[in-house]
Amino acid sequence: MPVALRYLARVWLLVLVFPTLDVRAAAEDVMTLQVDVFLLEFWGYPHLSAEYGERELEELFAEVNAIWAQAGIQWNLASVERVDLREADFEIPTRGFMRPREFRNAVATVIPEDPSAGRWPVYFVRQFPVPGSGVYLVELGTVLYGELNQHGVRRPVVLAHELGHSLGLPHVPQPDNLMYGGRDRNPELTQNLNPRQINRARAQAKIGPWQRARSSRQVD
């Protein structure tokens, strides 16, 4: 289904499911948020280096936008930059990364702490060397995203989920919700947002990516 039709379908679904929700924000007051994409290239570790080109990025964000249309939020691919990481900047432990937190912390050390005001930075790698394919670095206000998951499959819903964290949305227990935090989430089903989440996301969108004091805690 074309992206425009998927957008309209989601708006009408909100009308049917949440008749008291004012969907004029979604239908008429679409908020466009600027995304800066950084494609990480790891010298010495080519299997980690991002490979997406312009076409893949456009397709990815079209699918992410189809999900976020229900909130009247669209993500605009404002810039794309390749970032070379020398071996001196990033090093894989001899034993490898044993836990997701170790990988996220290692990448976090080479990401600038001060993103451009009012913009959403997303750093791409090819594939996480640990379980998972997306994490929100809350202390940096930055998304780290793997183009492929552990099974070599692309999952745009993972990026949509992490961007939800950037808008201040925590995990929820409902399996059909975009912010469901269970490891058993079905990417075809976990795409919904409720009115409270939409209101919070739109409020945070006016401020910028959600951040808090520097911490090693990950939000996946």
Q: How do residues 39-85 score in pLDDT, each as one tens digit?
A: 999 988 899 999 999 999 999 999 999 999 999 999 999 999 999 98
What does the pLDDT look like over 184-216, one tens digit per residue? 777 777 899 999 999 999 999 999 999 875 444
Q: Which residue has the higher pLDDT, 10 or 166?
A: 166
- Per residue in 21-50, pLDDT tens? 444 444 459 999 999 999 999 988 899 999
| Residue 60: count of CB within 10 angstroms of its CB | 23
How far apart, in whole angstroms, are the C-alpha atoms of residue 148 and residue 134?
10
Q: Which two tokens stand for residue 177?
A: 């919700």
Highest mean pLDDT among 12-21, 74-83, 101-110: 74-83
Residue 105: alpha-carbon gap to chain centroid: 17
pTM for the predicted model, two decimal places: 0.83
Ordered structural domains, the chain, with CATH: 3-205 (3.40.390.10)
Query: How far apart (Å, rounded) are the C-alpha atoms in residues 132 and 148?
Result: 10
Q: Which residue has the tokens 């957008």?
A: 7
CA 95 to chain centre: 29
Q: What gap in Å lies between CA 45 and CA 141, rounded to an integer?
A: 25
